[in-house]
Structure 1
């Protein structure tokens, strides 16, 4: 195993941009929402830069772009309700696992690590997505963006997970794709591992100075195992 896992018992994963590429489904829900409001429609690539801070912020960014100014509170609330309806209707239609995710999780699970999921996605979507991709049995606990009073980049969700699993923060690793994951991990006293392929608003994840940057989750495994899975 990679040295970042030395003396670690719990691995906390972000979801969107780390385990799954959910932008295609999120983009469809955003486009349908703006279309219903007779507003301009963004491309999928534009939506990709808006993802990472939870559904309310995603909708706010989409409306601000479409209107040319920040939306009124009531208008944003109605748009958010519409977005949630569209997204809930098909959260897995176009979403995919990133390459190597399932193999890496399986190997880490066999090695005895406890898994938790810490995402800013609304909690209602977490279990259906994990079930869809056959990952549910591996996760002991999860926290969504609306589970607690604060979400990433606050360290609160990470500290909540560590306490619930009776694991010291120094024995935990936060794995994510954005500056919010790294900031939350550092503030909570977790080791931090970043993946460069996700959603970080167009900025290189290296700028957040995580402890380690790896090309994929497979790189957590021994080199010969990684190569075998890659083939």
Structure 2
């Protein structure tokens, strides 16, 4: 593992399974407007794209005309129930502990708004202990732009070429590649059936978090 000095992670669909609570927030908005709810598979497919992805799926073209109104409703409910059913993916605690034991730094780089990211941290001490967390509004740009990932590496004082980035969305792979890092696709995350992750250009892919340790060895 001595050639890799840091591993940076996406949050939703990579470290945390937030889809149950994201889906519940969407269904609360739909229920308020007398619309039918979506099922858990829809939430899993679109949660990686945040409130916009979920609302755009549910409202189609109407979303663009009501963007701010719908997003405000969604985020209000989500903030009030942010960790009702959210949990770490199996193996994440062990993975982070093993990386630390091997002297590999870790950080979070997510497109989730900072307020939501930080609201989740007290529920998950393993994540709260990570020294660097970059959210979607930390900088003026978000993924797929590489700057948030480069900023995290800078905060860790580690050259990007010695970092790996792990995420479950195409924008994660695009950002990691643009930052000059090795990229790892978390296939256990939120990948919709219509997406084609084999064309995203990730250097590696994993079906379970602990498989990352095998790659690093």
The two structures have a TM-score, normalised by structure 1, of 0.85
**For 1:18-33, what aligned pairs fall within 5 Å after superposition?**
18-33=14-29
**2:188–2:206 Cα contact (<8 Å) kept:** no
Query: Are 2:211 and 1:219 aligned?
Result: yes
Rounded to whole Å, the distance in 1 between the matches of 2:204 and 2:53 is: 28
Rounded to whole Å, the distance in 2 between the matches of 1:62 and 1:153 is: 24
Query: What displacement does 1:125 show?
Result: 1.8
Query: What displacement does 1:83 show?
Result: 0.7
Unaligned residue ranges in structure 1 (runs of 5+) = 224-231
Q: CA 1:11 to 1:77, structure 2 compared with 1: closer, same or farther past 3 Å?
A: same
Query: What displacement does 1:82 show?
Result: 0.9
RMSD between aligned residues: 1.9
Query: What displacement does 1:106 show?
Result: 0.7
Query: What displacement does 1:204 show?
Result: 4.7
Query: What displacement does 1:7 show?
Result: 1.6
**For 1:180-195, what aligned pairs fall within 5 Å after superposition?**
180-195=171-186
Rounded to whole Å, the distance in 1 between the matches of 2:50 and 2:148 is: 14
**1:179–1:200 Cα contact (<8 Å) kept:** no
Q: Which of 162, 171, 193 is matched with 2:153 structurally? A: 162
Where does residue 106 of structure 2 map in the other structure? 115
Q: Which moved more, 1:213-222 or 1:87-96?
A: 213-222
Query: Are 2:133 and 1:142 aligned?
Result: yes
Equivalent pairs, count: 214
Q: CA 1:8 to 1:71, structure 2 compared with 1: closer, same or farther past 3 Å?
A: same
**For 1:194-213, what aligned pairs fall within 5 Å after superposition?**
194-202=185-193, 203-213=195-205
Q: Which moved more, 1:54-63 or 1:6-15?
A: 54-63
Query: What displacement does 1:131 show?
Result: 2.3
The two structures have a TM-score, normalised by structure 2, of 0.90
**Could you say what secondary structure the match of 1:139 adopts?**
coil
Query: Are 2:76 and 1:85 aligned?
Result: yes
